[in-house]
Amino acid sequence: MLIIDGPQYCNWSEKIFRQMREGGASAIHVTISYHETFRETVYVMETWNRWFERYSDLIVPAKTAADVRKAQAEGRTAIVFGLQNPSSIEDDIDLVEILHTLGVRFMQLTYNNQSLLATGCYEAEDPGITRMGKQVIAEMNRVGMVIDMSHSAERSTFEAIDLSSRPITISHANPSSWHPALRNKSDELIAALTARGGMLGFSTYPHHLKDKSDCTLESYCTMIARTAERVGVDHLGLGSDLCQDQPDSVVEWMRNGRWSRERDYGEGTAASAGFPPQPSWFRDNRDFGVIAEGLAAVGFSGEEVAKIMGGNWLAFFEASFGPKS
Amino acid sequence: MLIIDGPQYCNWSEKIFRQMREGGASAIHVTISYHETFRETVYVMETWNRWFERYSDLIVPAKTAADVRKAQAEGRTAIVFGLQNPSSIEDDIDLVEILHTLGVRFMQLTYNNQSLLATGCYEAEDPGITRMGKQVIAEMNRVGMVIDMSHSAERSTFEAIDLSSRPITISHANPSSWHPALRNKSDELIAALTARGGMLGFSTYPHHLKDKSDCTLESYCTMIARTAERVGVDHLGLGSDLCQDQPDSVVEWMRNGRWSRERDYGEGTAASAGFPPQPSWFRDNRDFGVIAEGLAAVGFSGEEVAKIMGGNWLAFFEASFGPKS
């Protein structure tokens, strides 16, 4: 079975790359930037280039769906780059094409806060897509970079769905009707996203789960089944948001970047500021098979399980990662 | 006939791109940086990306010999990026691969002055390839970026030829035995270069020509014939160094960058500081046919003319622009 997940933002190591192989991951969408500038993002790419050289038996960079299929055939995991924030394009729209050439295939228009392009889900007001945001959506559509609204506010997300000439994604979030976290999404928004061909990736990040780290596999898979009943199975996939082996300083960077002098706790609290433990049924990349079994147990057919585990993402990559054919 | 030239550093415009087509240029190696930092070089690439979009009927970016052949078949001119200085990699060897991914296929290790990598031809002393220079040569060899020593001093150039595991180039210079300019090269150096499969591109920049702007076509082509008698015809090509339509402020930037508070006149003088006029037989890209006729007139066969006009560069591109096969 072809398995695709992401975004993930792990403390990458040979151990984790081997776990990807053990779990049968054909492709992982990895985050290479939260608040980094263009130059800082390039430094991260340089680090990945060294890993691609050193661990060439385990991982390989991917820019197309064909690269993912080739990786799977070779027994390697394809790595697809994504940005969780538009900070990497700074105020320069032409960096969209430059970053696309360097392999970036996903970019969030916001990360929690207002950006130059749109509004994040933590802002009090959401005035929608900005002037530059409209231009950047058109440019991302032109070159084939996927618009990701996982951390965006609702009005901005509805507008991005409408403004984009190509399907967009909410790569890592769950329905707020299942667990009312600020980062989860309304049924109306998920319906609008998928009706236009957009993909929803189901998160395993405990703050997005009912009962958090204690969430059961059955609850998670039943939530996916309820979503499929509403919007069909063709636009659903995994979006684990796995942040394995990271020190808590990393979640502090995600939440605070360089934008605040007061400490922001995001989905955590002062008393519980760090990364929460993963649910027992998805510790890391070795556990994709557990989720697949859980999906079958709640009634999905074999074909449906294969779509959710990776087939739908692959079809989306095929349609999204280059100029519109 | 397939025609390849470069480097060129023109004040690019639709007029010049149309002249490339009129002159039948299949590929032009264009300079995108003299003293620019990495970020500034990316700005130049962004400008080229806009030209590629706007003038897609005339020009197309090329990263491989196959791209050049495709461009020729489509009646467009392939554009290959080159750097005249290693300033674009700053002090970061991993930018070699990043810039290669973005399309850079040539990099000079020096531009007249001492660099982090090697010594330029205007320095009083040439201590040879530096510690970082040896590392960068190996990295350029690994990814498939051509080492260009046109503006380098002689010992550094001999050492680069020896240290490189792949053929290198002197992309734009002439034999100093014909015209003893500081930028021209000794017969011994040209012999060493070509004996290892390296390419010499013959310059049309007047400071590199006998009788400068008054140099005759016959003198130029006879100089090429004498060179071919010494080193064979297979490693010789065009390297016009055309700087069409540029204001004199550009040659001042080339010579002074940001490295000097005193004004350096390079190959010019205080009394004659600007760009010299091109020789009458190579005004611009429309005149490749004139050079081809001049080569035939001094006795080159049709096959030899085709090699010098582009065939040799194409074979060199084929062998040089990717990982070693």
Q: How far apart are CA A113 and CA B13, in angstroms?
A: 41
Residue in chain A nearest B90 by alpha carbon? A39
Q: What is the ipTM of this complex?
A: 0.89
pLDDT reported for residue B267? 87
Say yes or no for a CB contact (<8 Å) between B98 and A38.
Answer: no
Per-residue pLDDT of chain A (325 residues; tens, 9 = 90+): 999 999 999 999 999 999 999 999 999 999 999 999 999 999 999 999 999 999 999 999 999 999 999 999 999 999 999 999 999 999 999 999 999 999 999 999 999 999 999 999 999 999 999 999 999 999 999 999 999 999 999 999 999 999 999 999 999 999 999 999 999 999 999 999 999 999 999 999 999 999 999 999 999 999 999 999 999 999 999 999 999 999 999 999 999 999 998 999 988 899 888 999 999 999 999 999 999 999 999 999 999 999 999 999 999 999 999 998 7
| Alpha-carbon distance A53 to nearest alpha carbon in chain B (angstroms) | 11
**Nearest CA-CA partner of A230 in A200, A191, A196:** A191
| Alpha-carbon distance B98 to nearest alpha carbon in chain A (angstroms) | 7
- DSSP conformation letters of A259-321: T-SSPP-TTS-STT-SPPPPPTT-SSGGGHHHHHHHHHHTT--HHHHHIIIIIHHHHHHHHHS
Per-residue tokens: A206: 């405990």
For chain A, report the end-to-end CA distance as a whole number of angstroms. Answer: 28
Contact B42, A98 (CB under 8 A): yes
Q: How far apart are CA B4 and CA B29, in angstroms?
A: 8
Say yes or no for a CB contact (<8 Å) between B95 and A45.
Answer: no
Q: How far is CA B122 from CA A53, A241, A322, B152, B203, in A?
A: 38, 55, 46, 8, 18
**Which residues does chain A have within 8 Å of residue B50's beta carbon, measured at their own beta carbons?**
94
Residue in chain A nearest B101 by alpha carbon? A102
Q: How far apart are CA A97 and CA A141, in angstroms?
A: 11
pLDDT reported for residue A267? 87
Contact A201, A169 (CB under 8 A): yes
Best mutation target, A98, A135, A139, to test chain B (most B CBs within 10 A): A98
- Residue ranges covered by each domain of chain B: 3-320
Best mutation target, A49, A81, A88, A99, to test chain B (most B CBs within 10 A): A49
Other beta carbons within 10 Å of A104: 26
CATH 3.10.580.10 fits B3-320, yes or no: no
Say yes or no for a CB contact (<8 Å) between A103 and B103.
Answer: no
| Alpha-carbon distance A92 to nearest alpha carbon in chain B (angstroms) | 9
Q: How far apart are CA A137 and CA A144, in angstroms?
A: 10
The answer for residues whose C-beta is within 8 angstroms of residue A52's C-beta and 6 or more apart is: A59, A60, A61, A79
Q: Across the interface, which of B42, B92, B95 has its CB nearest the CB of A98?
A: B42
Best mutation target, B97, B139, B143, to test chain A (most A CBs within 10 A): B97
Residue in chain A nearest B94 by alpha carbon? A46
The answer for residues whose C-beta is within 8 angstroms of residue A96's C-beta and 6 or more apart is: A89, A107, A136, A139, A140, A143, A145
* Amino acid in position A36: E
Query: For residue A238, what are the β-bridge partners?
Result: A202
Q: How far apart are CA B163 and CA B137, in angstroms?
A: 7
Q: Name which CATH class applies to A93-320.
A: alpha beta
| Alpha-carbon distance B175 to nearest alpha carbon in chain A (angstroms) | 39
Residue in chain A nearest B46 by alpha carbon? A94
Q: Which residues of chain B have pLDDT under 70?
A: none
| Alpha-carbon distance B322 to nearest alpha carbon in chain A (angstroms) | 15
> What pairing do the DSSP bridges indicate for beta strands B25-33 and B59-61?
unpaired
Per-residue tokens: B92: 């970061």
pLDDT reported for residue B30? 98
**Which residues does chain B have within 8 Å of residue A38's beta carbon, measured at their own beta carbons?**
39, 42
Question: In 3-state terms, what secondary structure has residue B158?
Answer: helix
**Nearest CA-CA partner of B152 in B81, B231, B85, B93:** B85
Best mutation target, B47, B98, B143, to test chain A (most A CBs within 10 A): B98
Q: What are phi and psi of A297, to 5 degrees?
A: -65, -30
pLDDT reported for residue A34? 96
Q: Count CA atoms closer than 13 A to B1's CA, side-chain side.
A: 21
**Nearest CA-CA partner of A114 in A125, A104, A106:** A125
Q: How far apart are CA B94 and CA A250, in angstroms?
A: 24
Calculated CA dihedral for residues B302, B303, B306, B308, nearest 10 degrees: -110
Angle at A97 between CA A102 and CA A197, to 5 degrees: 100
> Which H or E element spans position B199?
strand B199-202
Say yes or no for a CB contact (<8 Å) between B98 and A101.
Answer: no
pLDDT reported for residue B325? 77
Extended beta strands in A94-249, E state: 104-108, 146-148, 169-170, 199-202, 236-238
> What pairing do the DSSP bridges indicate for beta strands A3-8 and A25-33?
parallel
Give pLDDT tens digits for B2-43: 999 999 999 999 999 999 999 999 999 999 999 999 999 999
